Chains A and B, each alone.
Chain A
Amino acid sequence: MTGITVKDITQRFNRRTVLKDVNFTAEQGKVFGITGKNGSGKSTLVKIISGIISPTKGSIAFTRNGEDIPSEKRHEHIGLVGPYLTLYEEFSALENLRFFHSIRGLKYDEQQSNELLARLDLPTDRSDPIAAYSSGMMQRMRFAFALLHDPAFLFLDEPTSNLDTDGKNKVHGIVRELSAERCIIIATNDYEDFVLCDDYYSVDGSVPALLEQPAN
């Protein structure tokens, strides 16, 4: 089995409790959704699962093909897309990918990197810094960052924000394509993202309004 088990996660910032006793399991082959109102703690939960924030209480177990992944090795198996992720804007797209390859100890293959950029509809012939990219292109670059090392766990926080219709369709296609062999978690309030999910957890305990299809 490949999946994650979130057990009794509680997160407090000073005296404010953002998350309380969160429990769920997400498995390979199914897309798991995290939903909740704005400010309810969806991104905090994604950051905790990704290992960026240590929770106040609780634990998260990562399993790949039946074997536990120790916490110090998890970053090698995780791909994260989130609006709070910033790439190195002084470098070009390929320079960013080259750095991500080398820091992960992977062999850099320019052709493979160009294929990844092309798959995300990003230009392969630009050598200027990505600081000049639009917000939609930057979001696609975040996907390149997340998919580069072929992770077993893909965490997508607001994955289609800043994307146009083509971009959204592209992302939804990638999620469908990858979900069979990966454990994917999507934190979203977007109906089109939410319908991709096989199961969900509501951070604020409410039944998501997203379950009701929009009128149009």
Chain B
Amino acid sequence: MALAVKPASALFQKDVRSELRTRYTLNALLMFVVISISVVLFSVAGETLQPEITIGMLWIVMFFSAMSGMSRTFVAEEEKGTTMTLQLLASPSSIYAGKLLFNLLLIVCLNAVIVVLFLLTMEKFAISQPGLFWLVILLGGFGIASATTIIAAIIAKARTKGTLFPVLSFPILLPLIMAGISATKTAVMGTTWEAAIPDLQLLVSYIVVVITTSFLLFDYVWKD
């Protein structure tokens, strides 16, 4: 498991440049975010929601937005036929690291857009602990990116990629989503950080465990 920083960074930069040029994933994700928030707004129809319901909707939109585009990182390589080319260029762990970095960037930007749109459009969605709130969103994004990167690598070779991705992702992401929702409630309605510490510990542990396991498993996933 030889991780080289340069190859990972080169792959990350290539993916960013490729995405800025084709805008395939960005457009798909942004469209999903706009449509899903619009549907939420139409269904609410001007009523003021309880914060618990708004938080639940926020995480639903974050989860399904990730499902609509996060698999592209590996699926695109498979569809373009460049997987073999990558296999000849760098070690598996460097490939995983590069793809993980790209997904991290994507999910952090995506979640920031979702949260800002929620804050702008949801009436009376006030946050009592903004620092904690953004930390939870950041950790939630890191958790989603770390899990979806390895799942994307697994499903990239399958025939039913679109269906398989959310089906496999949901049980793996469930502990993260539960801890994330609980910590977000504390950030929105709570008065101190202390109540969120167990959830934050769970979020950090989840990220560490998933990334470590992914690095160990990726060699086997990457080769036919």
Interface residues of A, Cβ cutoff 8 Å to B: 47, 50-54, 72-73, 75, 78, 80, 82, 84-91, 95, 99-100, 102-105, 145
Among residues 178 to 224 in chain B, which have CB atoms less than 8 Å away from a CB atom of chain A?
223-224
Is B81 on the interface with A (CB-CB < 8 A)? Answer: yes
Question: Which chain A residues lie closer than 8 Å to B82 at the CB level?
Answer: 86-88
Taken together as a complex, chains A and B put the C-alpha atoms of A85 and B202 apart, in Å, by 43
Number of A-B residue pairs having CB atoms within 8 Å of each other in the complex: 72
A-B contact pairs, 15 of them (CB 8 A): A53-B223, A73-B2, A75-B91, A85-B88, A86-B81, A86-B82, A86-B84, A88-B14, A90-B18, A91-B17, A103-B6, A104-B7, A105-B4, A105-B7, A145-B85
Shortest Cβ gap from A91 to chain B (Å) = 8
Taken together as a complex, chains A and B put the C-alpha atoms of A20 and B197 apart, in Å, by 59
Q: Are A52 and B14 in contact (CB under 8 A)?
A: no
Shortest Cβ gap from A28 to chain B (Å) = 20
Q: How large is the interface on B (under 10, 10 to 19, 20 to 34, 35 or more residues)?
A: 20 to 34
Which of these, A50, A72, A91, contacts B91 with CB under 8 Å?
A72
Q: Are B80 and A86 in contact (CB under 8 A)?
A: yes
Q: Is the interface of B mostly helix, strand, loop or mixed?
A: helix
Shortest Cβ gap from B103 to chain A (Å) = 18
Q: Which residue of B lies closest to A142 (CB)?
A: B85
Is B60 on the interface with A (CB-CB < 8 A)? Answer: no
Q: Are B10 and A102 in contact (CB under 8 A)?
A: yes
Shortest Cβ gap from A99 to chain B (Å) = 5
Question: Which chain A residues lie closer than 8 Å to B11 at the CB level?
Answer: 103
Is B48 on the interface with A (CB-CB < 8 A)? Answer: no
Q: Are B6 and A102 in contact (CB under 8 A)?
A: yes
Shortest Cβ gap from A139 to chain B (Å) = 14
Shortest Cβ gap from B27 to chain A (Å) = 15
Interface string of B6-29 (1 = CB under 8 A from A): 110111011001100110000000
Question: Which chain B residues lie closer than 8 Å to A105 at the CB level?
Answer: 4, 6-7
Q: Are B18 and A88 in contact (CB under 8 A)?
A: yes
Which of these, B2, B9, B88, B94, contacts A52 with CB under 8 Å?
B88
Question: Which chain B residues lie closer than 8 Å to A72 at the CB level?
Answer: 2, 91
